[in-house]
Every structure is written in C-alpha cells, then in structure tokens.
Amino acid sequence: MASTTLSVSGMTCGHCQAKVERALQGVDGVYSATVDRTSGVAEVESSDAVSAADLIAAVERAGYRAAVPAQ
C-alpha cells in the first residue's frame, strides 16, 4: 500500500472539496482519499500501482490543480 500527499489548489467551497475527493476515489487502485479544503492537502491511500501522476491527472480532469508538495 502507498500513501501519497498532494497539494491541491483552486478549491473554494465544500462542493469543490467533495468533487476532488470523488475524482481521487475514482482512480483504480485508490482505497481512500481525504481532502482538506482549508489546508489544500489531499491524503490518498492506494495500491503501489497508482502513481502520483495518476492522482494529479484525476484532480486536473475535475478542474483543479495538484502537485506533490516539496519536501
């Protein structure tokens, strides 16, 4: 199992947060996705086969921006 943290921008309301969560949960291999609109952070638990690029693409298809935060 893999754990991925994404920085998500463009969310302005609870609907946006829910839309990003649904987009992430819709990626094959994702077990859970939790998004905090206030901090702009998404926490995703998935199989090792899911890449950060897959998750970022799902967020972008939903109309928002995402990136892996700099460590």
Residue 21 structural domain: 2-67
Whichever domain contains 49, its CATH number is 3.30.70.100
User: Which residue, 9, 20, 1, 2, is CA-closest to 69?
Assistant: 9
**Does the predicted model carry a pTM greater than 0.75?**
yes
The pLDDT tens digits of the residues spanning 23-62 come to 999 999 999 999 999 999 999 999 999 999 999 999 999 9
DSSP state of 37: T
Q: Which two tokens stand for residue 8?
A: 């998500």
Token reading at 10 = 């463009």
What residues are paired with 30 via a beta bridge?
Answer: 46
Backbone angles phi, psi at 45, to 5 degrees: -110, 130
Neighbours of 65 (CB within 10 A): 14
For the chain, what is the domain count?
Answer: 1
